[in-house]
Amino acid sequence: MPGGIDPHTHFEVLFQGEVSPDDFYVGTKASVAGGTTTIIDFVLPKTGESLVDKYHEYRKLADEKVCCDYSFHMCLSWWSESVSDEIEIIARDYGINSFKMFMAYKGFCQLKDGEMYEALEKIRAVKGLAMVHAENGDIIERNVEQLLKNGITGPEGHQLSRQEEVEAEAVYRACILAHQANCPLYVVHVMGKPAANEIARARKRYEGKGGIYAEALAAAIAMDGSKFHNSCHHVMDELQVIASDSCAFHSKQKERGKEDFSKIPTGINGAEDRMSVLWEKGVHAGFLDPCRYVALTSTNTAKIFNMYPKKGHIAVGSDADIIVWNPDKKRKISKDTHHHAIDYNVFEGMVCHGVPEYVLVRGKVCVDNGKVDVERGYGKFVENPVNNPYIYNNLQNKRPIEEPYCK
């Protein structure tokens, strides 16, 4: 089958005062071990930093380390006229067609609604794809303050401060803003059923031509939260992609928030286990057929981010990114055997049917009968052009403001 494409990783990222120990070598090695042959990571500028300068900084970090092919999304972590101008440069000259905005992390990278709308208009003008981290950052900030004031300082405060409706409200708002700007939108890491329902309603409301796409995470599929407070129901049916959002921090780094949950660096592993977890919970469990599995783990991502048919496809002229998958072979996920640079695994002890026995990255055998043999720096940067026909040929122009909806 086509090699996996993971559209959401955070390798070697500085976030909340810590650097994730999975650098671009370790992270892509883990990805390849699990059957992923292309990843899309994020360039994350700080407030005041140039998008172009940060792009070059990240390319320098990644190029000499990556074991598989990779691309970048550009984060719009602040907004100004200069950022708006640089979006055009990034899209035109640097092979990035997707731009991520945050509706959370107030005081760090959260955009106001007006800023977000301006960004959406600019992204539409360059024929790119907008991405959004959808949570109501203002509500989360107040909830965190109240929980800490009431003495709730442990990690349970993280879930209590951002319940499902806080995500769902932001998803609804993001879809409306994107539709008003006539800009295609990709919602990252959808975790709750209410948020998935909002996406399904938006797609139906715009007759499937509103340009709304979304991903779920392997963690959301494998862990339903039933051990804790609320169950997070499976959200596969409404979404087009299964990503990892692999952003792993060591337990010692997590402990900085031992007395204040808001200081815990957020993120878990997933790059290596994404493919096996979805096969186990989807195909082996009888919810997905193998063709739908390939779409969720590879082909849909390639189409949405304009990599297809070079990626996500097996044909003459496509990159030879191929995995030979053994659906009967089992493996038990463990921190003792994974390739991540952390001392835990959120899927610890989970037994998965479905293992990549052979993995080829652009024709190079990188997993041979289960043995990982990667080359540091072998991966290439993949440029993703704007004006993606898969998206823009299907994008429906919204009605002019002067045209009445009721006749």
- Three-state secondary-structure class, residue 400: coil
Task: Please state the rounded mean pLDDT for residues 58-64.
Answer: 98
What does the pLDDT read at residue 225? 59
Reading the block at residue 267, the tokens are 């993120």
- Rounded to two decimals, the pTM is 0.95
What is the share, in percent, of the chain residues with pLDDT greater than 70? 93
Q: pLDDT tens, 388-397?
A: 999 999 886 6
Residue 277 scores a pLDDT above 70: yes
**pLDDT classification of 112: cutoffs 50, 70, 90:** very high
What does the pLDDT read at residue 407? 38
What does the pLDDT read at residue 398? 59
**pLDDT classification of 16: cutoffs 50, 70, 90:** confident
Tokens 């041979």 belong to: 368
Any residues with CB less than 8 A from the CB of 57 and at least 6 apart, and which?
A: none
Q: Which CATH class is domain 4-394?
A: alpha beta
Domain extent listing, the chain: 4-394
Any residues with CB less than 8 A from the CB of 196 and at least 6 apart, and which?
A: 190, 214, 216, 235, 237, 238, 239
Please answer whether residues 74 and 51 qualify as being in contact, where contact means their C-beta atoms are separated by less than 8 angstroms.
Answer: yes
What does the pLDDT read at residue 233? 44
What does the pLDDT read at residue 397? 65
- Three-state secondary-structure class, residue 402: coil
What does the pLDDT read at residue 232? 47
Q: pLDDT tens, 184-230?
A: 999 999 999 999 999 999 999 887 667 999 999 999 998 765 555 55
- Which residues on adjacent β-strands are paired with residue 41? 72
